[in-house]
Structure 1
Amino acid sequence: MKSNLLATLLAAVHVSAGLILLIFSSWFIAACAIAAPGFNYMLPAVVIRALALIRIASGYGQMWLGHKQLLTRLAVTRLALFQRLQDSRLPQQDASTEALVQHTEAVAALWVAWIGQHTGVIVMMLISQLTLLWLLPTMAVYGWALLIGGALSFGWVCIKALRDSEELLKQKQAFRQYSNGQLTSCSLWHLQTNLTLPDASLMWQAQQAVQARGDNAVRRLHLLSLVLLTTILLQVPQALFGHATILIPVMLLLSARDWLASPLRSQPALADCLNGKSQLTNLAIHKLTRQVLDIPLTELHIRRLKVDSRPLPPVNLSMKQGQLLLLQGSSGSGKTSLLQAIYGFIPYQGERVVNNQVLSQGLVDSWYFAEQQPTCLAGSLRDNLQIARPDATDTALRDALQKANLSHLERALDEWLGDTGRRLSGGELKRLNLARAWLSDAPLWCLDEPFEGLDSHQQKLMADSINLAATDRIVILASHLRPSNLNISHKLDIDKLAEVNTCATHQVG
């Protein structure tokens, strides 16, 4: 809090020095033009240089301290969010990483993006008005007019920004939810007869409305300053002719657009912060329980397991160590949901039984789930692999890379991955998921679409690696692709299961 106040104070000093520099320079220029012999040019020049140095120093100090606090506040906000999300899941599709990143940034940036801006403009308006009251009391009425007009503009834009920000947020959520669904099934686009790509026009229009609101307010305030300037020039008292101070209100009104534009355009920052806080506070989080399985996994029985969100009949399965189960079905049939229920990631009805021991709802620490869209952190390859086993040695990491057909990355453990480093291809990300599975040494693997995005040769290599893993553990994979060399012990076709359930329902009816 102290650092935020200090950064705000430096912002006020920065804008104050700039405005006083403008006022003093205006007077000095006019005074030099009409100065009598013996006028002291040196002292005002020294003052101008001092004001310039103060403005530069306070500006850099405010930027350094403000952004340092921004990063600190962002870290605190995200760590608090991570603690809330620990052992939890987000059921809403629009609560994606991108959305959470934007919300936390909006909350953390309030001091830099809004409070500092408005502190500066308040100080500038007060300095301007006090200067007019001191040097040109007859002109103070024009300062009051600009001050009132600015206050009304700020209030109007702030109120409208709240509504515009809510509309923009709604359009972003709709676009994100629809595009996530489309991108998830991108590998199946060739099977869809009526493919409708996401339309960002409504989101773009909402974004333009937010920007236009601030631009229009700046234009109106600029028009007001020009009207006041014209009025001043037409009604200058005779007594002020030949005085250098008359240039001060002229320069203040001419520069009003420049020093009021930035705060006016920053109004959406407050709305984004309030909406971000609301979204983070009301974030739908489902807590997950974790359990430690202290017995070896030799048999897994699924008894009348049913996912509430899917219109599928209860599923019964029995598997033993050294077997591989393939869940097949069309896109959207419920393969992933069934796989997540078996893993314990989503609620279910029925029972999961390990060696005659019934498991409770929730995750099992020793099991591993490889999601359909692998996550690659902005970090080294070693960091991305050690997610599965933090204490893994470099030898274990290289062994996992070899088993996942990523031997070309064995010497790149310290190479940076992500947007600012090396970008892995879709196939490499899939194999990175498999390498993490090998590192976990889990007795049960749940693999979601491991062959998607791979060519036929890489699919066969991936299948060989999975076959090797399935010799001493249970592997359950959901996939619409089936390499010819995949050694399947059991197969469950979700589409046929749904057809049977539909037929039975019709017969009963």
Structure 2
Amino acid sequence: MATLSWASRQSWMHSEVTMRTERYAAMALSTTHLMAGVVLLLLSGWFIAASAVAGLGPLAATFNYVIPAAMIRFLALLRILAGYGEKYFGHAALLDKVSQLRLSVFDGVMNGRADESRAEELERLGQHTDALASRDIAALFPLISAAVLALLLSVFGLLVFPPLLLLLAITVPAALLIALWQWRGLHRQRSQLSKGQTAYTAAIEHYLTSASLWHHGMSNRTLEASQTDWQSARHRLRETENWGDWRMTVFAMSLLLFAAAAPPQEWLGSPYLMLGLFFCLSLPDWLGPAIRAMSPLAEAQLAEAELHKLMAVSDRVAVDGEEGVARLPIDTLSLSSLRPQRGQFHESGLDLTLRRGELALVQGSSGSGKSSLLLAIAGLLPMSGKLLINGGDVSTISPAQRRRNLLYIEQFPVVLADTLRQNLLVAAPGASDDALRDALVATGLEAVLNDGLDQWLGETGRLLSGGEKKRLGIARALLSDAPVWLMDEPFEGLDQAVIERLSVLLSRERESRILIVVSHRELEGLQPDVRLSLDV
């Protein structure tokens, strides 16, 4: 990863502090929300009983109804405000966590995948990071809130109403057993669901790629079987989740019957006796979220395991130290009998020498190996022959240096489900906002920039058109400042005005770098120094 400037490091540290503050605020408000709800229920029960008892005796004239009623209204308002606050800070912390996780592993996927599975891998990456980032809000906050409330109720029972301690002593172990039982079942079924989804996706892709055989009556039994398995796994998961709620409800009702059948004799006639009954009634509201948290917790643990595998792959392909991915001053790029080891290509390979300031236009029919050639030069496909940089063999530099300096700009750039800013920072983590805006303006993306750098682009960048995604890839190349650009169909699907604008941009950029452009189009403004046809 590129070295961050002092200002960028300060910005990153500020982002870390902000995210930590948002997380703690959301956790505190989540606990407050749950605590206010349970205390509200207990206080209401006590108030009803106290009002009834006071009305029967000499306390009727002296019992203060105003204070408990005001406290009930205050707790109701506090619960509402804490709920909204939790959602606000929790959502902000969630978005920040998603961005952080995706940026931390994006390079691992991009460097560790050199074929068409990269987009599919990134889609799974998005699902894993979403699950892991949601762990705090969906799982840890309910569990922490339940534990804090149990502690507070224990203190209340110890100081005010000791019979409550007996109910807590029964409730806490039972809740732990239900949660453990729930987690084990959900962890197993989440794993089965993940495997089923992978198999179902593979079956769909296989069926779609075999579209040319459909008219021959190709069977889709494999697809139907994998779909049935996936749907069955989802159904079992939902049933287990629902069973957790049912177990907690049955336990609460059983505890309520126990409390009502054997009330402590010394507390008969006291309004505090209602606290035990309302405590039992509050259990689904108090411990229900903690039981339901077992599902996102199991999902997050599986996602974390998958991300650890991914990071292990990225560690094997990464370069130790920042110097390993520095920009190299490349003056010449020479190909000698170079031949990608995929698809059809000239048996003798390709010979070509380009110098800084030169542009080569590669053309050929579909399947002639144009994209494979670029991938081989970038080190993303195995090759035979020689590739020389400044007269030295490419094997003398690391794979990461090769990818950093021989930049492959793909035909369909991958767009993260993240903000516009983060989609640009993957190319230059230390870039300033002005640099990001300049890159967008240079590629004709002013309209996208109008909504700001922090706009959310949606899953796989669905808010961008195909042409905008292409230009986003070129904007990333500008930010990376690689000395060699390997551009795969950069003009495909663009209108004439945009093509002319990009042609001017490439003509300017070629002055300081080497460009190899694959394109079906004949462009007058491009004026290539070398034309290559890969058709035999």
With normalisation by structure 1, the TM-score equals: 0.70
**1:353 aligned to which of 388, 398, 403:** 388
CA-CA distance at 1:213 after TM superposition: 1.7
Residue 196 of structure 2 is aligned to residue 165 of structure 1 = no
Structure 2 counterpart of 1:221, one-letter code: M
Q: Take 2:32 and 2:446, find their aligned partners in 1: how far apart are those partners? A: 54
Does the Cα contact within 8 Å between 1:341 and 1:347 map onto a contact in 2?
yes
CA change 1:166–1:147 in 2 (3 A) is: same
**1:44 aligned to which of 54, 65, 68:** 68
CA-CA distance at 1:141 after TM superposition: 5.8
Residue 374 of structure 2 is aligned to residue 343 of structure 1 = no
| SS of residue in 2 equivalent to 1:255 | helix
CA change 1:216–1:179 in 2 (3 A) is: same
Does the Cα contact within 8 Å between 1:132 and 1:143 map onto a contact in 2?
no
**1:224 aligned to which of 233, 241, 251:** 251
CA change 1:214–1:419 in 2 (3 A) is: same
Structure 2 counterpart of 1:448, one-letter code: D
Query: Comparing both chains, which one has the higher relative contact order based on Cα–Cα distances under 8 Å and sequence gaps of 6 or more?
Result: 2
Does the Cα contact within 8 Å between 2:340 and 2:372 map onto a contact in 1?
no
Residue 534 of structure 2 is aligned to residue 492 of structure 1 = yes
Matches within 5 A, 1:47-446: 47-49=71-73, 51-52=75-76, 55=79, 70=94, 73-74=97-98, 76-78=100-102, 80-81=104-105, 85=108, 88-90=111-113, 93=118, 96-125=121-150, 144-174=169-199, 202-230=229-257, 232-233=259-260, 243-283=270-310, 284-285=313-314, 286-287=317-318, 290=325, 294=329, 296-297=331-332, 300-307=334-341, 316-321=349-354, 323-326=360-363, 328-330=365-367, 336-353=371-388, 356-360=391-395, 362=399, 363=402, 367-375=406-414, 378-379=419-420, 401=443, 414-416=450-452, 419=457, 423-430=463-470, 433=473, 445-446=485-486
Structure 2 counterpart of 1:113, one-letter code: A
| SS of residue in 2 equivalent to 1:121 | helix
Does the Cα contact within 8 Å between 1:304 and 1:350 map onto a contact in 2?
yes
Structure 2 counterpart of 1:371, one-letter code: E
CA-CA distance at 1:382 after TM superposition: 12
CA-CA distance at 1:117 after TM superposition: 0.9
Does the Cα contact within 8 Å between 1:103 and 1:273 map onto a contact in 2?
yes
With normalisation by structure 2, the TM-score equals: 0.67
Structure 2 counterpart of 1:154, one-letter code: A
CA-CA distance at 1:22 after TM superposition: 1.6
CA change 1:430–1:247 in 2 (3 A) is: same
Residue 487 of structure 2 is aligned to residue 447 of structure 1 = yes
Counterpart residue number, 1:23: 42
Counterpart residue number, 1:507: none
Structure 1 spans left out of the alignment, 5+ residues: 497-509
CA change 1:429–1:273 in 2 (3 A) is: closer
Does the Cα contact within 8 Å between 2:407 and 2:482 map onto a contact in 1?
yes
Does the Cα contact within 8 Å between 1:381 and 1:414 map onto a contact in 2?
no
| Percent identity over paired residues | 29
C-alpha RMSD of the superposition: 5.3
Q: Take 1:114 and 1:225, find their aligned partners in 2: how far apart are those partners? A: 22
CA change 1:459–1:41 in 2 (3 A) is: closer
Structure 1 counterpart of 2:302, one-letter code: N
Q: Take 2:193 and 2:205, find their aligned partners in 1: how far apart are those partners? A: 18
| SS of residue in 2 equivalent to 1:263 | helix
Q: Take 2:477 and 2:168, find their aligned partners in 1: how far apart are those partners? A: 69
| SS of residue in 1 equivalent to 2:420 | coil
Q: Take 1:459 and 1:52, find their aligned partners in 2: how far apart are those partners? A: 58
Does the Cα contact within 8 Å between 2:349 and 2:385 map onto a contact in 1?
no
Does the Cα contact within 8 Å between 2:336 and 2:351 map onto a contact in 1?
yes
CA-CA distance at 1:266 after TM superposition: 1.1
Question: Which piece of structure 1 moves more, 174-183 or 243-252?
Answer: 174-183
CA change 1:168–1:302 in 2 (3 A) is: farther
Q: Take 2:190 and 2:462, find their aligned partners in 1: how far apart are those partners? A: 35
CA-CA distance at 1:392 after TM superposition: 7.1
CA-CA distance at 1:114 after TM superposition: 2.1
| SS of residue in 2 equivalent to 1:33 | helix
Q: Take 2:265 and 2:404, find their aligned partners in 1: how far apart are those partners? A: 87
CA-CA distance at 1:166 after TM superposition: 2.2
- Considering fraction of residues, name the structure with more helix: 2
Does the Cα contact within 8 Å between 2:140 and 2:293 map onto a contact in 1?
no
Structure 2 counterpart of 1:318, one-letter code: D
Deviations 1:251-274 (A, max 9, x none): 233332222222111112222332
Does the Cα contact within 8 Å between 1:7 and 1:65 map onto a contact in 2?
yes
Q: Take 1:410 and 1:134, find their aligned partners in 2: how far apart are those partners? A: 65
Q: Take 1:382 and 1:44, find their aligned partners in 2: how far apart are those partners? A: 54
Deviations 1:457-479 (A, max 9, x none): 89998998899899999765567
Structure 2 spans left out of the alignment, 5+ residues: 1-16
Does the Cα contact within 8 Å between 1:386 and 1:392 map onto a contact in 2?
no
Q: Take 1:192 and 1:451, find their aligned partners in 2: how far apart are those partners? A: 33
How many residue pairs were aligned? 476
Structure 1 counterpart of 2:375, one-letter code: Q
Q: Take 1:410 and 1:148, find their aligned partners in 2: how far apart are those partners? A: 60
Deviations 1:68-125 (A, max 9, x none): 655565555455446x649933456477333333333433443333222112223444
| SS of residue in 2 equivalent to 1:372 | coil
Q: Take 1:364 and 1:347, find their aligned partners in 2: how far apart are those partners? A: 13
Question: Which piece of structure 1 moves more, 242-251 or 377-386?
Answer: 377-386
Q: Take 1:470 and 1:130, find their aligned partners in 2: how far apart are those partners? A: 71
CA change 1:54–1:364 in 2 (3 A) is: closer
